[in-house]
Structure 1
Amino acid sequence: MNLNKPSIKHIHIDGQKILFPSQEEWETLRFNPFIDDMPLAVLDLLWPALELTQKYPEIHLGLGKISNFKKWMPYIFLEIESNFQRVQLETLSCSFCNWRGKTANPMDTGLYCGDGINQDRFTLMKAAERYPILPCPCCGDRLPRHPIWVEYNKD
């Protein structure tokens, strides 16, 4: 796939160029995981994340480079307060009511690594602390970790 296709959205997030392929382009990448002859990385995690983005419009899957000569890495973003916040998707369980579901956590320093990122990763992670930590959607009890998004409607 060609990086300069007009249908691929290019957005700079934290200084890093992130590509947001269309659904059709994701299908092309599933069968030929290369952009300008550079491979996509972590394919086993990429496709389940893409399925979640189709279910929840506030979650976005983008691609960015770790460095100029490496693979394209998937990055997951939560659209929150008109912002694209880098997150890690996790499956958490409530110790009180046993609810289990997907959550989004911005507190992993690995999320803030990549070619072009223009701030210290700890500064970016600290900025993510402004988002409220969400409780269990079932009982309201505190969930482990730092979820700023929780899966409310599991179908």
Structure 2
Amino acid sequence: MFGERIANLKSRMEIRDEKIAALEARLLEVAIPSNGVAQPAPTFTPPSLRQVPQIDKPVGEQGGPSKPIPSLRNILLSRKWMFHFSPGGNGGRKPMTFLPDSSIGQGRNKNEHTWRLEGAKSDLLVIYREDGSVQNAFYYSDKAGKFDYIPDSRAVGFRNQFIEPI
């Protein structure tokens, strides 16, 4: 139990350090412009929003006819999933189902309590804790057919979690 807690704390510290380094780099760009002319402060787009792959493109990468990807909501609701919540620690995993009322069915606990699709195209799966805070965020990889962890500054869960169909 303590090993998992330590791994969680280390993961959070790494995420924090990455965010601080990115923000410091941005601040230096603004504070010392190359042409010496003051520039307006840049708008910051979190990496989690910049790196999200598009899920509304055709699936034709493996050859054969292209067909549209079913809605992410339908994908979530139509299958049973295996949630790998500690892949770098003790290998913890559990079955999980997503219910139409945005609650977690099987696998529900205080850490994985409800879910919501977010993002400009509703292409991010965000899992919420019982207290309403964000546990983790995932994007759907249509090529791999699973949900992969994506950094989210609001999240308190382990890094590198993933959710795959059973």
TM-score normalised according to structure 1 size: 0.28
Larger Rg: 2
TM-score normalised according to structure 2 size: 0.27
Compare the two structures and name the one with the higher strand fraction.
Answer: 1
